């Protein structure tokens, strides 16, 4: 999904695609230092499963005591299966 989104943006605006990809990487990298900075996913309301938003994507992740695991990169207009998100990583 990440590469597909970057390719889609790059088709019209290559520099915007690079900026967007840099933003995604910065947002997800920062989770190692600040794992609670994302919001709880409204559909779940589980404090250990959160997400960061980088338009047009939702990036759900699981935070544990010693690590953060990115669960997916999802387009914000597509419905996603909450079971798929919650079953990843335990």
Choice between 88 and 71, residue whose per-residue pLDDT is larger: 71
Hey, where are the domains in the chain? Answer: 2-87
pLDDT one-digit tens code per residue, 20-63: 999 999 999 999 999 999 999 988 888 999 999 998 889 999 99
CA-CA distance, 71 to 86, in Å (whole number)?
Answer: 9
The DSSP element (H or E) to which 30 belongs, if any, is none
Flag whether pLDDT at 90 surpasses 50: no
The DSSP element (H or E) to which 9 belongs, if any, is helix 2-12
Which numeric CATH code is attached to 2-87?
3.30.2310.20
Overall pTM surpassing 0.85 (yes/no): no
């Amino acid at each position: 999904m990440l590469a597909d989104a970057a390719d889609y943006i790059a088709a019209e605006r290559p520099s915007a695609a690079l900026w967007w990809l840099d933003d995604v990487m910065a947002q997800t990298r920062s989770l190692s230092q600040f794992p609670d900075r994302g919001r709880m996913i409204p559909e779940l309301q589980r404090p250990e499963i959160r997400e960061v938003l980088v338009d047009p994507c939702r990036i759900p992740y699981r935070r544990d005591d010693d690590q953060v695991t990115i669960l997916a990169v999802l387009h914000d207009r597509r419905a996603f299966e909450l079971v798929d998100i919650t079953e990843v990583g335990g």
